[in-house]
Amino acid sequence: MTASVATEPRPASGTNPVPRILVFSTNNISDPGIDLAGSSHMHYSPGVRVIGLPCTSGIRPSWIVGALQAGFDGVFVASDGDECAYLHDCSKRSSAIVAAAQASMRERGIDPQRLRLAAICSVCSEPFTKHVQQFSAALAELGPVQR
Amino acid sequence: MTDQLVPAQPTPTTAVMEPPLADAAGGRRIGVYVCHCGGNISDYVDVEKVISDIQDSGDVVVAKTAMFACSDATQQDMVADIQAQGLDGLVVASCSPKLHTYTFRAVAGRAGLNPYEYSQVNIREQCSWVHTDDREAATAKATALVNAGISRTRLTTPLEPMVVETLPHTLVIGGGVAGLRAAVGLADIGLRVTLVERELQLGGWVGGFGAMYPHGRDGHELIATLVAEVRRRPAITVLTGAEVVGKAGSFGNYLVSVRIGGDGAAALEIAVGSIVVATGFESYQPEAGELGYGIDGVVTLPEFKALVDGSAGAASGAPGAAGSAASGSPLTWHGRPVRSLAYVYCVGSRQPADVEGANQYCSRFCCAATVQTAVQVAGLDPSIRQFHLYRDMRTYGKFEPLYTEARKTGSVFLKFAAEEPPEIRREAGGGLTVTVRDLLTERTELAIPVDLVVLVTGMVPRANEELVNVLKLPAGSDGFFNEIHPKLRPVETVVDGVLIAGACQGPKTSAESVASGLAAVTQSAAILKKGYTELDPLVATVHAPACTACGDCLTACPYDAISMSEGPDGHVAVISPTGCKGCGGCVPICPENAIDLLGYTDAQVSSMIESLVEVPA
């Protein structure tokens, strides 16, 4: 793991920092799935923080890039996938948002691997937990964002 | 489709005291309540530390913990604080917003604070319960989540809900005991009902049963009574051989497609205000070889129930009933008299968690149903020997006397360990032998010769993929449909206006199914009887000065909520607040960033991101 930069969050214990992951969930589909992980008393990294929105297609690419610039190590889009109740082409729109964000990340020298998208359904507690744990491990490998 | 607007009802307002104190630094006056949830949160998160870490935010005027934020006492406390301190923002950090958003919006409303000046922060499902192993990290995260809630609340504005007319018409899916009783209840409360049943006949499982516990009431008769009640009510339309294949529209005004007559048949379109799903259960089907299933003479509980009901009918001289008088025995299987039988309980229920796709739940009805059937068998012929091989006997509540009655009528009960289930084999001579180690007699191994083995099979969720896809119904890990809250909102789903009743939600007795059917009636009435429903005003808006009228957003909205309008400074995009579904799909499409979704504005989300990444001191 590369040396931490000054802005990198550092837990009090002084051990390696836990990667910070911002999750964009959706109020009706993926957020209930993430809630279910809690009701089922599953565990994942406390570096994971969730913002709920009505629909994945409403995410501004600037929020993703802004989060990575502000100190998050990765952004995980827990998307509606094909289950979106609002937009039949939600998956296509979400992919476009991710592509736009990754282009913007490249321009700023941020590794596009720091953004992941996966469809998380309303009972996908286990897949969600696995996704964020794997992502957290991958981000620990990548080290902090060079800002 | 009607989508008429009626004037918004003003939020009920009580007198608000003038703020007694000067405004704090930030200009806002925010109250923050952090919930212990008994210990569900405070066992893993230091809630006092969260309070002390957020108190310095300049505009937080009130910061308190509460044992239960949702309790009446705390709600009254919040109302008093909002009024006495002149709060203009409320943050509640407790459980998932799916549970109590409406509770705390109502608290704000009662105190005279606009309900949309409140933010819910989830520090239970998404914090304490997933970080039970790291109190320090969980506390730091909870603080960041609460700070994000405060940041969001700083940027809230008062909003009024939009009011949409609802149709006084409910669609009931499933014509079993729960659906039929719900249909009658809905009609009696003054709503029109369309009842859709996939089979050609109404009645479901109960319609196929003879005597049922606890009082031996006949299932066929019960259903016949209910069907007669349905026929008596012109407000109810029954469609059999029919399936729901599509759903459009929104809460209060759904347009449902119902196909009658199988694949390829034309679909009927029905406009309804709410939907009650009462699609019932399937009986667990054992695998071949599971506890001897597949051997002649090893049957499931429904198969045995049909046999006993048929024999009881024959004994009472009912025409056309099964059974064989020729053998002189009241109970026969494939022409051979049944003189002895063994019941093996918990088949397909209470399976160990390490089995893939295990049914970990108790099916709830089967102990009482089996014991009642045994009493019925003893009534046919008290000399038939009956052995009950159980793991735990759960004739709970008022059904306990049935167990005593079974013992009095000669049933013998043997207890086996889950990890050592009975073995069943067919003897060369023709009979069956059940071998079991009985925990009640010092684990003695017993070999019991019997004529019939009944596997007491439980309930499993019905395979209903098409309906699940059409209604977007959420199912739990056990495959049964999920309610929003088991205690507080037991028949509502996350899909507004779609309610669940009966055994599609989980194992239930017929009485419990009927009770939940009636709960769905009440909830439907609560939604539809007012004639209108309030829609969240959290819709997209255009910041007109930034709009260049490029038109990109026009095609972004499949609901045609966006149009171009002539303004004082040329053309601008305008979004209809009732046409908008609040998805925000147009937000990232706008090249000028001129569109914001209320409640999720660019400024709010950006400030939440800043707060969430912050490392508390």
pLDDT in tens, B109-152: 999 999 999 999 999 999 999 999 999 999 999 999 999 999 99
My answer on whether B259 and B199 are in the same domain is yes
Instruction: With respect to residue B606, please indicate whether it lies within any of the assigned structural domains.
Output: no
Cis ω for the linkage preceding B214 (within 30 of 0): yes
Instruction: With respect to residue B10, please indicate whether it lies within any of the assigned structural domains.
Output: no
CA distance B450 to chain A (A): 43
My answer on whether B433 and B474 are in the same domain is no
Which residues of chain B does A44 touch, with a Cβ-Cβ cutoff of 8 Å? 130
Task: Point out the least confidently predicted range of A3-12, B79-88, B522-531.
Answer: A3-12
Q: Which of B159, B184, B212 is the last residue of a domain?
A: B159
Burial annotation B449-462 (CB, 10 A radius, 16+ → b, else e):
ebbbbbbbbbbbbb
Segment B297-321 shows an average pLDDT of 81
My answer on whether B493 and B547 are in the same domain is no
My answer on whether B439 and B313 are in the same domain is yes
Query: A100 at the B interface (CB within 8 A)?
Result: yes
My answer on whether B143 and B179 are in the same domain is no
Instruction: With respect to residue B271, please indicate whether it lies within any of the assigned structural domains.
Output: yes
My answer on whether B509 and B451 are in the same domain is no
pLDDT in tens, B204-248: 999 999 999 988 999 999 999 999 999 999 999 999 999 999 988
Q: How many domains does chain B have?
A: 4
pLDDT over 90 percentage in chain B: 78
* Cα–Cα dist B368/B366, whole Å: 6
List all residues of chain B from 103 to 162 with a beta carbon under 8 Å from chain A. Answer: 122, 124-127, 129-134, 136-138, 140-141, 144-145, 148
Instruction: With respect to residue B17, please indicate whether it lies within any of the assigned structural domains.
Output: no
CB contact under 8 A, A83 and B482: no
Query: B476 at the A interface (CB within 8 A)?
Result: yes
Which residues, including other chains, have CB under 8 Å from residue A123's CB and lie 6 or more apart? A32, A33, A36, B474, B475, B476, B477, B482
pLDDT in tens, B175-199: 999 999 999 999 999 999 999 999 9
CA angle at B589 for the pair B588 and B593, rounded to the nearest 5° = 60
CATH number at residue B270: 3.50.50.60
Closest among A125, A138, A118, A115 to A78, alpha carbons compared: A118
My answer on whether B305 and B354 are in the same domain is yes
Which residues of chain B does A4 touch, with a Cβ-Cβ cutoff of 8 Å? none
Segment B436-463 shows an average pLDDT of 96
My answer on whether B229 and B146 are in the same domain is no
pLDDT at B257 over 70: yes
Which residues of chain B does A83 touch, with a Cβ-Cβ cutoff of 8 Å? 472
Which residues of chain B does A57 touch, with a Cβ-Cβ cutoff of 8 Å? 583-585, 588
Torsion of CA B177, B178, B181, B182, to 10 degrees: -160
CATH number at residue B570: 3.30.70.20
Q: What is the DSSP string of B50-107?
A: HHHHHTTSTTEEEEEEES-TTSHHHHHHHHHHHHHHT-SEEEEEES-HHHHHHHHHHH
Instruction: With respect to residue B607, please indicate whether it lies within any of the assigned structural domains.
Output: no
User: How many beta-carbon contacts under 8 Å exist across A and B?
Assistant: 146
Segment A12-38 shows an average pLDDT of 85
My answer on whether B311 and B433 are in the same domain is yes
Tokens of B125: 């499902």
CB contact under 8 A, A55 and B606: no
CATH number at residue B73: 3.40.50
Quick one: pLDDT at residue A16?
A: 62
pLDDT over 90 percentage in chain A: 74
Instruction: With respect to residue B5, please indicate whether it lies within any of the assigned structural domains.
Output: no
Which residues of chain B does A58 touch, with a Cβ-Cβ cutoff of 8 Å? 583-585, 587-588, 597, 600
Segment A125-134 shows an average pLDDT of 96
pLDDT in tens, B367-396: 999 999 999 999 999 999 999 999 999 999
The H or E element that residue B567 is part of is: strand B562-567
Quick one: pLDDT at residue A114?
A: 98
Determine the structural domain holding residue B561 and report its residue range. Answer: 540-597
As a whole number, the mean pLDDT across chain A is 88
The residue type at A38: G
pLDDT in tens, A54-75: 999 999 999 999 999 999 999 9
My answer on whether B305 and B223 are in the same domain is no
- Give the other-Cβ count within 10 Å of A142's Cβ: 16
Bridge partners (DSSP) listed for residue B393: none
Rama region for B252: left / alpha / beta (φ>0; ψ in -120 to 50; rest): left
* Domains, chain A: 21-142 (3.40.50.960)
**Is the pTM here over 0.90, yes or no?**
no
As a whole number, the mean pLDDT across chain B is 90
Tokens of A29: 């589909």
Instruction: With respect to residue B21, please indicate whether it lies within any of the assigned structural domains.
Output: no
Q: Which of B494, B529, B564 is the last residue of a domain?
A: B529
My answer on whether B59 and B107 are in the same domain is yes
Nearest to A55 among B494, B585, B608 (CB): B585
Instruction: With respect to residue B20, please indicate whether it lies within any of the assigned structural domains.
Output: no
My answer on whether B59 and B147 are in the same domain is yes
CB contact under 8 A, A38 and B495: no
Which residues of chain A does B581 touch, with a Cβ-Cβ cutoff of 8 Å? 86
Q: Which of B487, B507, B529 is the last residue of a domain?
A: B529
Closest among B102, B37, B164, B41 to B492, alpha carbons compared: B102
Q: Is the dihedral of CA B198, B204, B205, B208 positive or negative?
A: negative
CA distances from B321 to B154, B306, B317, B325, B542 (A): 74, 10, 8, 11, 72
pLDDT at B304 over 90: yes
Residue B25 pLDDT level (bands cut at 50, 70, 90) = very low
